[in-house]
Structure formats: C-alpha cells, structure tokens
Amino acid sequence: MAAQQILVIDEGTTSTRAMLFGADGKLHGSQQEELQQYYPSPGLVEHDAAEIWDKTLRCCKKMIEQAGGAEKIAAIGITNQRETIVAWDKRTGEPLSKAIVWQDRRTAPICDELKAKGLEPMVQTKTGLLLDPYFSGSKIGWMLKNWPEVSAAGDNLAFGTIDSYLIFRLTDGQHITDASNASRTMLMALDAMDWDDELLELFDIPRKALPKIVDCAGDLGKTSAALFGAPIAISGSAGDQQAATIGQACLEVGQTKATFGTGAFILTNSGDTPPRSEHRLLSTVLYQLDGKRTYALEGSVFVAGSLMQWLRDDIGLLKFAGESEDLARSVDDTGGVYLVPALSGLGAPYWQADAKAAISGLSFSTTKAHIIRAALEAMSYQCHDLKTAFLADGTDWQSLRIDGGMVANDWLVQDLADILDIPVERPEFFETTALGAAMLASVGCGIHASLREASVMISGLDENRAAIEASLRETRLAGWKKAVQGVLAD
C-alpha cells in the first residue's frame, strides 16, 4: 500500500513543530521546540534562522522515525509565519544575519517616507497591501542597506520568507516560494505571476536574489536523501493564515475564519477576483492551484496570544496562560479597565506603527483579574473593529470560525460571540493551520483530488451564540472606542 502519512512543518513565531497526519486528518504525532525571540531594542524583533533550521530538522527526524521511516511519508506540507525575512548564502544555505520578524517595526521611517511621496495608493492597487513595516519588502531593502554581510554576498545572496528558506535547505538548493507567501512581500502584484519591477525598484531589491513563485500544491521538490534516509516529496506550502483558512474549510466565497495565535488574523474567502478595500483591510492570495488563484480579504491584529505571553513572562500577572480563564471568570466585569494591546503598534484597521499600548480606567479597586479580563476582552474588541471594516467593504460575516491556541479558553470564545453578535464556531481540532498544510500536501501528492475532497480531514464544530443584552455590548464597545482614541491621540 502506498504511503498515506503526511508530515507537516508548522514553523510559527514562537515555536517550530513537525506533525504527522493520516489521510483522514487524524493527528498521529507532534514534536515541538520553542524558538528564541531577540529584541535588540524597542520595536525590533529578530530570529536566529540557523536555530529555526536546526530545530525544524530535529523535530522532523523524530516524526519520521515515529512514522517508520521516510518511505512511510507520502508528502511534506509546510506552513509558516509570514513576512519574516531570511537572507542566506546560496552556496551553503547558511543565514547571513538574523531574520527580521513580521512584528519588527524598524522600517517604519522608510514606509512613512514613501507615504509622504504619495506612493501608498500605487502599492495598494498593485499588491492589496498598505505601506507598513509589517510586510517583507521594506525589511529586505533595509537589510541590503544596513547589514554589510548581506549586501556583500553579491550573486550568492538569497532572500526568502521562512517557507522559502526551509525548502532551500531541505532540497539542497530549490529556491521557490508559494504564491500565498509571495503576496505578503509587497513585491508581487496580486494579478501577476512574478515579481513586479516597479516594486523591486521602490525598495532597491535585486530580482536575482528572490525565489521563483509557484503553486501552493504540487511538485515543490524533494528532500535531500541525506537528511532523512530517502527523498520525501514536498507537495504543499502556504502562509500560516492562509493554511488555517483552508483548514477551516473556508472554501466558498464569504466564509470567514479568525486565528488567535501570536497575533490575530481574520480572512474571508473572496473567490477568484482580488478584493479591493476602501477601509484599510488587506487583499491577499489565499491559495494558488494549477496557476489559478483564490483570494481573500484580511484584517491583521499584531498582538493576541503574545499579549498573554507578555503578561505571564514579563509582567508576572499570570503563572501560566490557562490561568487567564479562571481569572476572567472570577470578576463580573473589568471594573472599567480597558487594555489596548499596541505592543507592536496597531494593525488593521488603524495601521499606526508607532502606537503604544495602554491600560486605562485603573483604580485602587483594580486587581490582576480585572486586568487579565480586560486583556481577553481586547481580543473581542479588536475583532469587532475588523467586523465593522469588513462590513464597510461590503463583506458581512454571517458566522466566524475560530482557531489557534487562545481558543482553548471557553470564556474568550463566549465573549467573542457576545461582542460580535454572530455564531462563533470552534473546531474539535484546534490546529487548523497545520491541518490546512496537510490538506494542500494531500492534494499536491494525489491522495485527494481537490481541497473540497480533502476537507474530509476536518473534524466537527461547536457553536457559541451571543448571551448578553445589546445595551451592555454597546456600552462596552463605547468604552473600547474611547480607549483606542486615547492611544491614537498620543
């Protein structure tokens, strides 16, 4: 019998994992290692790409051993933190510098300068993105100008997002990126199949250093036999938020998902026409199969799970992340406390790179439970901000499918339903990002004929509906609006 197991590499912001799936979507095993975050100064976030490779390789080897060897793996699917940029040497695959992470804000002055020249409308029209340091293009341009070890590599210089870097090292030199990741660089027009000359010139980036743009499923290369004992086909690749959208079976126009990971990202399937936002949302490639693209409208929140991590590790208000649910339930409300989590600026729909986080409404009666509850409520409020922007762009959510580590918190799930006032659907299996990558790989290697057929891999959903009075919802949202305005005014 042909191999039916799929190995997924899920390379996130705070950890890397290798996960083993069956063709039915059942998880057979998982190996995870934490990644070190580097913060050289406020607003700067870096990763060690060599660490990413070493830990990814170690996790993969353990899962392949569990599977019974490389010949038992039908294909590999890759999903990754998007916009994070690696520079490496084409001869060795070794990184030339630290990777600049998607959260990094060092290129805000570059983006502001381009905005001042009136270039944002051109960039948005071509790419569906806004001039913000979040995206990869300005990061690459900054590396070339500020890190001599990068510019000195000359013809041996390679740039790529994490998917591209991992595929290069897995295959001993295949320099490609899938269209979903390419659409996040600000260097590719949404309706074009290659890098855009005008955008490359904008950031002074050499085309020869960039990967080839390919489908999200199909023959994406084979791993070096020396790595795992035998070659394994790489058959699927997508950015993490696109993969989660697929893993939530948002395959019809209008279907919407929200992932609560390090950040929170909401995508609505927009079909085969790139959506155009008038309310500072993003247009992105959801996936590309056989050269044909499906698009999505996206709202990006920079801080979600990372807020709870910060409250735990740096502020000391939590002993462990799961404690947040009990603390939120221990008080009736926040006592008027609002927390605006602009620890990396504010994302959609505000796009204020220099905004700073704030806690308002504190008094002597405030306890850590009130602050933790306010932190969780901020997730619902940020989603409501995006729901309002989506509606203004003509997309009205009928329901919201949610996933990511934070949705294990039952209190948060109910609060989302209360504030959004629509059904909130949570899958039995939370790791939909990895599942989406497995679905793509299964299509790419021929186990399933299409993503719709591959959706048999998805488990059931449970549903939460609003359980608060409309007047309370309106009061809470009014307080949030005031808190955000205070941050934007500073």
pLDDT at residue number 2: 58
pTM of the predicted structure, to 2 decimals:
0.85
Cα dihedral sign, 480-484-487-490? negative
pLDDT at residue number 169: 96
pLDDT at residue number 382: 94
Cα separations in angstroms, 440 against 38, 277, 331, 467: 32, 28, 44, 37
pLDDT at residue number 362: 95
pLDDT at residue number 3: 66
Say if residue 42 is preceded by a cis peptide, omega within 30 of 0. Answer: no
Cα dihedral sign, 339-342-343-347? positive
pLDDT at residue number 378: 96
- Start-to-end Cα distance in the chain: 64
pLDDT at residue number 1: 41
Residue pair 171/227 in contact by the 8 Å Cβ criterion: no
**Spatial separation of the C-alpha atoms in residues 123 and 172, rounded to whole Å:** 34
What's the token pair of residue 353?
């790179």
DSSP character for 348? T
pLDDT at residue number 25: 87
DSSP character for 101? P
pLDDT at residue number 458: 84
Q: Which residues of the chain have pLDDT under 70?
A: 1-3, 490
